[in-house]
Structure 1
Amino acid sequence: MAGGRPHLKRSFSIIPCFVFVESVLLGVVVLLAYRLEFTDTFPVHTQGFFCYDSTYAKPYPGPEAASRAPPALIYALVTAGPTLTILLGELARAFFPAPPSTLPVAGESTIVSGACCRFSPPLRRLVRFLGVYSFGLFTTTIFANAGQVVTGNPTPHFLSVCRPNYTALGCSPPSPDRPGPDRFVTDQGACAGSPSLVAAARRAFPCKDAALCAYAVTYTAMYVTLVFRVKGSRLVKPSLCLALLCPAFLVGVVRVAEYRNHWSDVLAGFLTGAAIATFLVTCVVHNFQSRPPSGRRLSPWEDLGQAPTMDSPLEKNPRPAGRIRHRHGSPHPSRRTAPAVAT
C-alpha cells in the first residue's frame, strides 16, 4: 500500500502454473492415496506370528464404523476444523487489519493476470494455506498407508480374525513348563478367517487416524500461534492450542482401548503427522507470513543495517595530531626546535 493505492503486479504465469502444475501434483497425490488405501495395487506384507501370542490375541472390536471414533467423524474433523479456522482467520485479517507497526516488513501485492483476473493478497493467502493443507493431508495418508503396506504389522486383535488352526500348524498350547509361544508361523495360508478382515488386521503401523489428527492439530495450532494476535492476555492462544490437542489425544487413547492399535502404532502416527505439518509450515508457507513483492526475503546480513550501533570514544572530540596543549592551555611543542640566532 503506497499512497493509499494497492501495489499492482502483472503475471501471466500464475494461472497456467496453478492449472498445469499444482493441480496436477495434487491430483497425483490424491490418486496415489486412493490406490494405497482402497485397492490391492500394493499388496500388504504378510508378517509371521507366534502361536498363542497374547500380544495379538485381543478380542475383535468390530468394524471401524462401530468405533467410538469412526473414520467418518475423524475425516470430517480434520477437514472442516482447520478449514474453518483458516477461513475465519484470513477474513478477520482482511476486514480488521492490524496496525502498520505489527505487520510484516514487506507485504504482498495484488497480481493482475490478463485483462479480467485480479488476485488480491487475502485471496492468495487463503488459497495458498488451504491448498498446502490439502496437499499435506493426502501426503500424510500416503505415508501412513505406505508404512502399513510395507511393514504388515498385526493389530492387537489379529489372531481373533485370523483364526489359525494351531493343530494343523503343529503348535502346542502354552503350559506351566513352557508359558511362552513355541513356534513362529510364516505360512501364507495359516489364517482361516475372512480375507478382508485379515488384510485389514495387518495394517496397524503407523496408525493412520492418529497421523491425520496429529497433522491437522499441528497445522492448525501453528496457524493460531503465528497469525492470531491477542492483546492483554498470554493464555488465550495456548488454551486454544491445548483444546485442539485434546481430540487428537483422545483418538489415540480410543484406538488403543478398543484393541485396534498398539501404543507404538499411535505414537508413530503422531510423529508422522506432526513432522509433515511442521515441514510444510516452516518450509512451504514460511510460518504463514506474507512474501515480499520481489519474491526475495532479506537475509540476516542485509538486515544488520537497522541494528543499534555504538560510537567509538576515539571518534569523539578529535584533536590535532600535530600539537598537544598543556592543562592551562599553553601550547607545548611536540618536539624541540633550535633557538633563533640573531644576526
Structure 2
Amino acid sequence: MAGGRPQSKRSFSIIPCFVFVESVLLGIVVLLAYRLEFTDTFPVHTQGFFCYDSNYAKPYPGPEAASRVPPALIYALVTAGPTLTILLGELARAFFPAPPSAIPIIGESTIVSGACCRFSPPLRRLVRFLGVYSFGLFTTTIFANAGQVVTGNPTPHFLSVCRPNYTALGCPPPSPDRPGPDRFVTDQGACAGSPSLVAAARRAFPCKDAALCAYAVTYTAMYVTLVFRVKGSRLVKPSLCLALLCPAFLVGVVRVAEYRNHWSDVLAGFLTGAAIATFLVTCVVHNFQSRRPSGRRLSPWEDLGQAPTMDSPLEKNPKPAGRIRHRHGSPHPSRRTVPAVAT
C-alpha cells in the first residue's frame, strides 16, 4: 500500500528461516574468517624475492598495535559507525514518515508468526540492513585474507624482518657494475627472522584495513544517499558522504606512509570493499527500498498504467451541437447534427 497503513499477514517460515538458514550462513562466514586470519589452516604462499630489493627493504615499523591507526580502532569504526547511522536513519523514518505526496513509498506488511511474535516493518528493515552489513563485513575479511594467503606478496619492510643471510644465499652486494638485484631467492629457509613476523610480512595484497574501511564507507554512503531526505539543500548528503570517505582515504595513506603496504595493496583493498558493498546494496537489499507486499511483479503495461498522465488538448472532441435520435429514442453514438448555414 502506498501511503496507507501497512497490512498484516501470517508467516510461519520467517523464524525457522532466520534461525536455520541465515544464522547458519553467518556463522559459517564468521568461522571461515577466523580460520583465515588467526590460524594456520590455510598456509601463506611463500613468494620469492630479489637480493637487496629496495622495494622490500624499508625499516620495520613495529607491531600493528603501535600504528597510528591500529586494528582495534578500525574494527570499532567500521562496526559502530554504520550501525549508528542505520539505526538513526530507521528511527527517523519510523517516527517522522514522509508524506504520501512527497515520494512514492511502497509499504511493507507486519509479519505475524505464531501467537505472540509480530515483526513490524521498521524492525524488519533494521534487521535486514544490519544483518546484510554484518554478512558483508565478514565476507570482505574473507576476500582480503584469501587474497593475502594465495598471493603471499611481501610488505615494504619484508627484508627487515626476514633478515636473510645474503652470503649463504650467494647474493653479491650491489656495486656500480650491478646497481640492481641480480638473483631471485626462492629458498623456503632463506629468512632467519621471527617466523611469526615473516608470515605477517607476507600478507600485504590486498590491504585488509583498506578493504574494511572502503566497504563500511561505501555501504553507509549509499544508505545516506538513497534513504535520507533533505529539503532545501543539495549539498548536505554529498558533504556527509565526502566526510565519510576521508577517514578511509587517510587509513590508506597511513598504511603506505608507515611502510606496511604498497599503494597497489591499498588500491586493491579499496576496490574489493567497494565492490562487495555495491553488490550487496544493489542486488541483496535492492537499494534499501521496500518490495511490494503482494510479491507480484507488474507487467510493463500495468506499470505504465500507474504512471501520472496528462490530457492532451488534441484528444478532446468539440461539444456536439445536437444529436439525431432513432425511432426508439436512443441517440446514435456516431452521428451528429450539422447546424444549418444561412444563405
TM-score, normalised by the number of residues in structure 1: 0.89
User: Do 1:323 and 1:334's aligned partners in 2 also have CA atoms closer than 8 Å?
Assistant: no
Q: C-alpha displacement at 1:296, in angstroms?
A: 3.8
Q: Once the two structures are superposed, what CA deviation does each residue of 1:215-246 show, in whole Å capped at 9, x if it has no partner? A: 00000000000000010001100010000000
Superposed displacement of residue 82, structure 1: 0.2
- Secondary structure of the residue that 2:220 maps to in structure 1? helix
Shift of 1:173: 0.9
Is the CA contact (8 Å cut-off) linking 1:162 and 1:194 kept in structure 2? Answer: yes
Deviations 1:155-191 (A, max 9, x none): 0000000000000000011111110101000000000
2:243 is the counterpart of 1:233? no
Q: CA deviation at 1:101?
A: 2.0
Task: Note the C-alpha offset of 1:39.
Answer: 0.3
The CA distance in 2 between the partners of 1:64 and 1:123, in whole Å, is 38
Pairwise CA RMSD = 6.0
Note the alpha carbon deviations across 1:42-93, whole angstroms, 9 max, x for none: 0000000000000000000000000000000000000000000000000011
Q: Kindly provide the CA deviation profile for residues 246-283 of structure 1, in whole angstroms up to 9, marking residues without a partner as x.
A: 00000000000000000000000000000000000000
Q: CA deviation at 1:338?
A: 26
Q: Which moved more, 1:137-146 or 1:171-180?
A: 171-180
Is the CA contact 1:104–1:290 (under 8 Å) kept in the aligned structure 2?
A: no
CA contact (8 A) 1:44 1:152 kept: yes
CA distance in 2, matches of 1:55, 1:80: 36
Instruction: Quote the Cα distance in structure 1 between the aligned partners of 2:167 and 2:322.
Output: 110
The answer to whether the 8 A contact 1:324-1:333 is kept is no
Corresponding residue of 1:124: 124
SS at structure 1 position matched to 2:335: coil
Tell me: CA distance 1:214–1:300, structure 2 relative to 1, closer, same or farther (3 Å).
Answer: farther
Which residue does the alignment assign to 1:69? 69
Q: Deviations over 1:112-142 (max 9, x none)?
A: 0000000000000000000000000000000
Q: 1:330 to 1:146 in 2, by over 3 A?
A: closer
The 2-side partners of 1:336 and 1:287 are apart by 56
Provide the C-alpha distance between the structure 2 equivalents of 1:189 and 1:341, rounded to a whole number of angstroms: 113
CA separation of 1:311 and 1:333: change in aligned 2, threshold 3 A? closer
**Deviation string, structure 1 residues 312-338 (Cα, Å, up to 9, x no partner):** 999765999999999999999999999
The range that moved more, 49-58 or 285-294, is 285-294
Rate the CA distance shift 1:196–1:322 in 2: closer, same or farther, 3 A. Answer: same
Measure, in 1, the Cα distance between the counterparts of 2:89 and 2:154: 42
Question: Is 99-108 or 209-218 further displaced after alignment?
Answer: 99-108
Identity %: 96
Q: Distance in 2 between matches of 1:158 and 1:279?
A: 34
Taking structure 2 as the reference length, the TM-score comes to: 0.89
Report the secondary structure of 1:335's partner residue.
Answer: strand
Cα distance change, pair 322–203 in 1 and its aligned pair in 2 (3 A): same
Find the residue that maps to 1:334 and give its secondary structure. strand
Range with greater deviation from structure 2 (284-293 or 212-221): 284-293
Is the Cα contact below 8 Å between 2:29 and 2:139 reproduced in 1?
yes
Specify whether residues 298 and 222 from structure 1 end up closer, same or farther in structure 2 by C-alpha distance, changes over 3 A only. farther
Deviations 1:10-45 (A, max 9, x none): 000000000000000000000000000000000000
The range that moved more, 332-341 or 94-103, is 332-341
Decide which moves more: 257-266 or 93-102.
Answer: 93-102
Cα distance in structure 2, aligned partners of 1:334 and 1:27: 73
Match in the other structure for 2:195: 195
* Shift in Å, 1:107: 1.2
Residues 284, 178 of structure 1: CA spacing in aligned structure 2 closer, same or farther, 3 A cutoff?
same
Unaligned runs of 5+ in 1: none
Q: Which moved more, 1:207-216 or 1:324-333?
A: 324-333
* CA offsets 1:291-325 (integer angstroms, 9 cap, x no match): 11123444555422244668899976599999999
Per the alignment, do residues 341 and 266 of structure 1 end up closer, same or farther by CA in structure 2, a change over 3 Å counting?
Answer: closer
Q: Which moved more, 1:57-66 or 1:93-102?
A: 93-102
8 Å CA contact 1:322–1:334 kept in 2: the answer is no
Instruction: Please state how far the C-alpha of 1:152 moved relative to its aligned partner.
Output: 0.2
Q: 1:152 to 1:325 in 2, by over 3 A?
A: same
C-alpha displacement of 1:290: 1.2
Tell me which moved more, 246-255 or 328-337.
328-337
Contact 2:322/2:337 (<8 A) preserved: no
Equivalent-residue separation in structure 2 for 1:341 and 1:96 (angstroms): 66
Answer with 97-106 or 320-329: which moved more: 320-329
Describe the shift of the 1:311–1:181 C-alpha distance in structure 2 as closer, same or farther (beyond 3 A). Answer: same
Structure 2: gaps (5+ residues): none
Q: Which moved more, 1:329-338 or 1:275-284?
A: 329-338
2:226–2:287: 8 Å Cα contact kept in structure 1?
A: yes
Is the alpha carbon distance of 1:214 and 1:296 closer, same or farther for their aligned partners in structure 2, counting shifts above 3 Å?
A: farther
